[in-house]
Amino acid sequence: MADHTLKMPDGRTVGYCDYGEPGGVPVLWCHGGPGSRKEPAGAAAGVADASLDLRLIGIDRPGYGLSTPQPGRTIGGWCSDALAVADALGLGRFLTAGISTGGGYALALAANAPERVAGVVASCANTDMHHAPAAEGMPGVWNHDVWNAPDREAAISLTQDRFGEDGSKMLGLFTDLSKADMAVLADPAMLANAEANRRENFAFGVQGFVDDRIADGPHGPGWRSFDVGAIECPVILVHGGEDTLIPVFMAHHTASLIPHADLRIYDELGHISIIPQTLMALNDLARHF
């Protein structure tokens, strides 16, 4: 589970971490926002406990962990980073999993590299924010304040005030989570893992988070930076019915954009408590890998 870095042609650094045995079915894990390559660590423990044959590979998006910030990046444009990691690891075909913000990146990878991606799981993921009800349904403190800022610098300043430069204020913003999510956060091991990962999530302050929001917002390229309609591989959309951060109707909208997708709604789960179902969906895809 050692950390690794790659140098991209434009001089940027991309960080990643490889979990699991080399013989497992490879899964490129697209973390949430904020998040980092360390996000799959807890899921990797679940893989081991359940004896699932999955090899999880976490990749830092620009502005997180070990990856150099890249102002102006797009969802579709990020795919070159993921493919560089896959090439460095000698992977031919692989699965992708996207958690929350990462869902769009996992889907973009499937759209842009159909010969490489064998299946996608998008878990409690946001949808195309050019769909007006979707943008309107996102929490303001996490999204609209960035989208409506006059420029990137103002968005960074505002978000830094809300989250703290090191993310230390962020947990205080979780005030209306589902019972299932609150139960997860009450686990001391979960809190310890979240605290350990916070330094990676905010290695470059709030730049990664702000650039995520600019990339997926209704005023930017968003999902228009890739062709969601071009996805042909199996797609499983997993969502908690009690998700208060990304409302469940967003999964239904994404399903309307990908008619062959398998939509799985878990009524009593929320945004954080969905991880076991995410792993089960990946295992279902891995059986046909």
Q: What is the pLDDT of residues 233-282, one digit of tens each?
A: 999 999 999 999 999 999 999 999 999 999 999 999 999 999 999 999 99
Tell me the mean pLDDT in the region 20-28: 89
CA dist 19 and 228 (Å) reads 28
The mean predicted confidence, pLDDT, of the chain is 93
Instruction: For residue 252, count CB atoms less than 10 angstroms from its CB and return exposed for 0-12, middle for 13-18, buried for 19 or more.
Output: middle
| Token code pair at residue 183 | 């139960």
**Structural contact between residues 280 and 93, judged by C-beta atoms closer than 8 angstroms:** no
Residue 15 clears pLDDT 90, i.e. is over it: yes
Tell me the mean pLDDT in the region 69-81: 98
**Best CA proximity match to 111, nearest among 276, 257, 265:** 257
pLDDT confidence bin for 20, thresholds 50/70/90: confident
Place of tokens 């228009």: 224
pLDDT of residue 9: 96
Q: Look at strands 13-18 and 3-7 and give their pairing.
A: antiparallel
pLDDT of residue 22: 81
pLDDT of residue 172: 74
pLDDT of residue 282: 96
| Token code pair at residue 277 | 């179902």
Percent of the chain with pLDDT over 90: 80
CA dist 44 and 58 (Å) reads 10
Cis peptide before 62 (omega within 30 of 0): no
pLDDT of residue 50: 63
pLDDT of residue 250: 97
Q: For 148-203, write each residue's pLDDT tens digit.
A: 999 999 999 999 999 999 998 887 777 788 999 889 888 887 777 777 789 999 99
Which residues are within 8 A (CB) of 49 and not within 5 positions of it... i.e. 6 or more apart? none
This prediction's pTM: 0.96
pLDDT of residue 71: 98
**Structural contact between residues 173 and 162, judged by C-beta atoms closer than 8 angstroms:** yes
Backbone angles phi, psi at 54, to 5 degrees: -125, 140
pLDDT of residue 47: 66
Residue 48 clears pLDDT 80, i.e. is over it: no
Q: For 193-223, write each residue's pLDDT tens digit.
A: 777 789 999 999 999 999 999 999 999 999 9
Domain range 3-286, CATH class: alpha beta
Residue 30 clears pLDDT 80, i.e. is over it: yes
Write out the H or E segment, with its range, that includes residue 136.
helix 132-136
pLDDT confidence bin for 140, thresholds 50/70/90: confident
Place of tokens 């434009």: 10
Q: 59-92: buried (b, 16+ CB within 10 Å) or exposed (e) per residue?
A: bbbbbbbbbbbbeebbbbbbbebbbbbbeebeee
Percent of the chain with pLDDT over 70: 98
